Structure 1
């Protein structure tokens, strides 16, 4: 007589049961009679996977022992991946060799654990070999596109082999959406907008999807489109799109949280910060299996702290950010430096200029190497037009980093952003020699390192190439030689390579010079006479936002003074020309006409060419009058001097 387990196995092999619940019930009933039947245990495990009950499936594996775990290694790794145990899933899948399914699980687990470089490598290997099942090629294209987009977001774009979307990427809405995300991450916002519109059109055109399924697929695309419209400054379109997005229809909690954030950021109709703060924190907590990527989580944390500042929760922001800034070592992490800025804003209670500086400056003594804090102080000094103090704070930071023996501090010292800030402040003060010195030091530090920032080396090479110092020119030649070797297709680096070697080794760069665009073609569309007739551009002032030109023969017009309305008389008429002598006393004006005989006599004496009082007296003496009488009072008696006495 056969055992129940064998009877179940024989029955399952002969039937075609598609209801996994029925298979699970049959396996459970059979295992009550024979708990150690490995075949039935394996069938039950697979049935639980088909029903998406991954926790129960893993519990069955733990109860059955190592024998079943070895048998279903790929399935076990997949179950661990689905419950969020990413590192364990990667380790198990990596240990299974010569198995295409294991490579897929390893790539997916690597993607979710944000090891995008490894995921891209695995997908390239899978795409290079023959597909094992139908539809696998399309899945590989979709997953590879998503991985490339994440590499662009995390500033690992050098690992992306295809920058421009191909024709096959425009045939499915998933691949078009991934290509759009990659373009947005690279800053190609116009192309990203076109690709997102293409993805929406392709999704709406699918007949095999129901309306509910289409809505579920279109909502994440709309959330990304809302972010793009905000970046492009299309506020009206963004506001309209935000009103059309229904948060409750988004099945993924992580996507729902991002959608809520984007709606608050893009909707100008919510001026109340307290309401925005409440809506931002109204989303549910994310489970382990649906968490945000690190970059997204950091942005969300920064936005939450910014809303806390808007509702005056300064002490809470100080407490939260101080715990994140416990380490005193400098860093180039954008997230940590942004947290330092929020910490400074909380200490200053969102005050700017001198009021904010008074509260923030003491913090530098506690965190002298905090890059975000120092940048905040420099920015406040620049806003108050105090560039000297800003440069002094920066030079103090540079000195502290230069004296450090830590290699990480040296990487921060010569970080492209910090070098660019030094160059900007020195250029603003016209200190060209310091600019060349800073770029030369930075180039000397990065030249012999594997991950040297090419933009910094390009700027350093261009500046040193313009120097009259022979040593600077030699350094510039070495820089462009190295850059040209790394990327011969770059026009900028090829031009620098030719310019650096043209005088000393003209034959060496003759071939590269032929590939550059001739100067005659570059200036063919420039009309020199028109430029001369247009005039010489005037120097732009520090507060001017636009440059203005004036003809060569035109004299600059004096600036008109604007008079406040409070200082104008009530009967002021702008059509009437004001009296130019209105500021003189009445008797000094040309229109003054004195009244009476004595007034006219005084006026005659003051008139240029008239007889003065002394000359008039001399004239009367000469005429024989003899005596000048004292003036009389109305009573006819002269006023005498009173004697001192008692009153």
Structure 2
């Protein structure tokens, strides 16, 4: 028995010494033969594990690790972490790799963290690898490509402030992988024009490679094409998107998640007259069914919303309302998480049965009683109020919601209360009603809150959102005459300038704030970043301004003469009449009657009816026959006082006596 084991070990060692990269099948056979004689041989188990990994049989590799137990896992920790990563368990892979100290463990941990959507950790690890320098051939290029992918995902995860390089460099345009990653980052920042250019560059670079087979080239081009269709569709270039989509078959994509995304984008680029029931049957798929190539969370959220949109188009209102309500109730409330608020919008659309206007408003308001702190539902009702022209009710709804959150006092509720997007919504409503003082107060409160909150917390909105909020607050506060408002504006623009000294908007705001409070403290460095006055007035025609009515400055040698120039007259704007003041039968295409203000009898086209009407008209009209009486003191045509006129003989004959036999 001992000689047999020794012989097997010797043959395995001999094969290992003679092996090349193409000997994995032979290594696997020899390792199996050795394990049949000694199932606990750690050396043979390790060889089998490596061979299976080389053959991309990751599930079998994990089974070998479980059979080998802790001895094999401790000896082959790097292989264990790699097998977990490729086997679809990135969280465990990152944990195992994090216990190692060699450089290879950092690579696996970085990739596993990326796939586990811990992009911040992946960003840190690749930064460490770059700082320590490459140690093997082409390692620096691999790190650069992977770092670009991490930067793009940070943008999608709203952690773009960690990305140091926002614009693609010349080096990014030298390889199709780096150009593609730069394009993905541009898409995440909504820079679609730049993304389109980068994607075309990536395609050209991929097609120019000579060391790729045709199958490998097509495999690399397919993801780029999928992104192209998305970018062109977002830009409204439907015909170009359709042409690009016709050159690609989604079924050719090996990755299940990418294949499904391609099918969605191709359907979205199709005409709107497509059959929603057919689209529902083809595209209605759960993201969990795409494992192990599962999409990222933000992609899964979009897929779920697409599924709900197909449900609504297919008139499956009850199912959409029930499933979204269950998902919403499982999340904390209130929240500004886009995944939850988008479900609230779908839920509202399902209850309104895709209606809008007042009918939809009645149906959706009933749901607000059940979920009074649902941010998505509140925004839907605000939008419906705006569509019906009821800005006052929209403002009242937002103000009452903010008041409830303010009274609760919890930090999570206050974060929602001062969320930049919600504050911007209320400020827009105030601006629509010219309530500038209310808008200024709301912006000032939000700016003060986030200035204090950002100093002692990390779970704050993105710097981009806060930057927009601070700038809007600073500009609004500069319009105030209160010293405390101007001081707050100075503090806001001062912090923005310190964060980004090249931000001209912040520099201009700081100069304006200092000019209103302490002009002497303005430094030359503050003015250097601003556009010179000469450039600002370079395109102004002074002669044209003077001819238009600008007063000329007086000199000591020339007497002052005032010349009055009339302002250019503009045609008065037509006064808009409220619908309630318009006649019921009003027709804008018909010319109104110019005599409509006169009584009917005074209009030129009036024609009386009957004998009495004609006689009366003849008496009243100018030039008619007038019968004058000498004893009449009344106006012509009117019987004199005391005169009694009897009826004609015919009338007397027709009269019948009252009484027996007569008719009343």
Where on the TM-score scale, by shorter chain, does this alignment land: which range?
0.7 to 0.9
Shift of 1:254: 0.2
Counterpart-to-counterpart distance in 1, 2:593 and 2:360 = 48
Provide the residue aligned with 1:445 in structure 2: 449
Displacement of 1:47 in angstroms is 0.6
Which secondary structure state, in structure 1, belongs to the residue aligned with residue 194 of structure 2? Answer: helix
* Superposition map of 1:518-529 within 5 A: 518-527=532-541
Conservation of the 8 A alpha-carbon contact between 1:127 and 1:140:
yes
1:105 pairs with 2:118 = no
Q: Distance in 2 between matches of 1:431 and 1:608?
A: 60
Q: Is the CA contact (8 Å cut-off) linking 1:264 and 1:270 kept in structure 2?
A: no
Of 324, 328, 334, 1:325 maps to 328
157-166 or 497-506, which deviates more? 497-506
Change beyond 3 A, Cα 1:475–1:599:
closer
Matched residue, 1:493: 506
Indicate conservation of the 8 Å contact 1:605/1:613, yes or no: no
**CA separation of 1:600 and 1:33: change in aligned 2, threshold 3 A:** closer
- How far is the alpha carbon of 1:221 from its aligned partner? 1.1
Distance 1:226 1:155 in 2: 23
Contact 1:5 1:37 in 2 (8 A): no
- Equivalent in 236, 239, 242 of residue 236 of structure 1: 239
Counting only pairs closer than 5 Å after superposition, residues 559-570 of structure 1 correspond to structure 2 as none
> Structure 1 residues 592, 38: closer, same or farther in 2, change over 3 A?
closer
* Alignment check: 8 A CA contact 1:193 1:225 kept: yes
CA distance in 2 between counterparts of 1:28 and 1:301 reads: 46
CA displacement at 1:641 relative to structure 2: 3.8
Superposition pairs of residues 190-201 of structure 1, within 5 angstroms:
190-201=193-204
Match of 1:342 in 2: 346
Counterpart in the other structure of 1:216: 219
CA distance in structure 2 between the aligned counterparts of 1:592 and 1:353, rounded to whole angstroms: 46
Question: Which residue number corresponds to residue 397 of structure 1?
Answer: 401
- In structure 2, what is the Cα distance between the partners aligned to 1:254 and 1:229? 20
Query: 3-state DSSP class of the match of 2:494?
Result: helix
Equivalent-residue separation in structure 2 for 1:367 and 1:560 (angstroms): 41
- 1:8 paired to 2:8: no
Contact 1:5 1:31 in 2 (8 A): no
Query: How many Å separate the matches in 1 of 2:182 and 2:618?
Result: 95
- Aligned to 1:289, the other structure's residue is in SS state coil
Q: Structure 1 residues 8, 23: closer, same or farther in 2, change over 3 A?
A: same
Shift of residue 5, structure 1, vs aligned partner: 2.8
SS at match of 1:40: helix
Gaps of 5+ in 2: 550-566, 638-642
Match in the other structure for 1:555: 571
Deviation at 1:503, TM superposition (A): 4.5
Report the Cα offset of residue 52 of structure 1: 0.8
Q: Matches of residues 30-49 of structure 1 in structure 2 within 5 Å? A: 30-49=34-53
* Cα deviations by residue, 1:500-535 (Å, 9 ceiling, x for unpaired): 223544343222123311234223224577689999
User: Does 2:59 correspond to 1:55?
Assistant: yes
Counterpart for residue 539 of structure 1: none
Following TM superposition, by how much is the alpha carbon of 1:618 offset from its aligned partner in structure 2, in angstroms? Answer: 6.4
SS in 1 for 2:98: helix
Give the equivalent residue in structure 2 for 1:624: none
Contact 1:328 1:367 in 2 (8 A): no
Does the aligned pair in 2 maintain the 1:480–1:493 contact within 8 Å? yes
Distance of 2:97 and 2:220 partners within structure 1: 30
TM-score by length of 2: 0.84
Q: Is contact 1:80–1:88 with CA below 8 Å preserved after alignment? A: yes
1:297 paired to 2:311: no
Q: Could you tell me how far apart the structure 1 residues matched to 2:242 and 2:414 are?
A: 45
Greater Cα shift, 172-181 or 119-128 = 119-128
Q: 2:434 aligns with which of 421, 430, 434?
A: 430
State the shift of 1:629 in Å. Answer: 9.7
Quick one: structure 1 residues 639 and 82, their matched pair in 2 at CA, closer, same or farther if it must change by over 3 Å? Answer: same
CA separation of 1:233/1:528 partners in 2, compared to 1, >3 Å: closer, same or farther? farther
Contact 1:223 1:262 in 2 (8 A): yes
Q: Is the deviation greater in 285-294 or in 253-262?
A: 285-294
Name structure 1 gaps, 5 residues minimum: 536-550, 622-626
Residue-pair matches, total: 617
Deviation at 1:19, TM superposition (A): 2.8
Give the Cα–Cα distance (whole angstroms) in 2 for the partners of residues 598 and 447 of structure 1.
88
Partner of 1:458: 471
Residues 180 and 199, structure 2, Cα contact 8 Å, conserved in 1? yes
Matches within 5 A, 1:124-135: 124-135=127-138
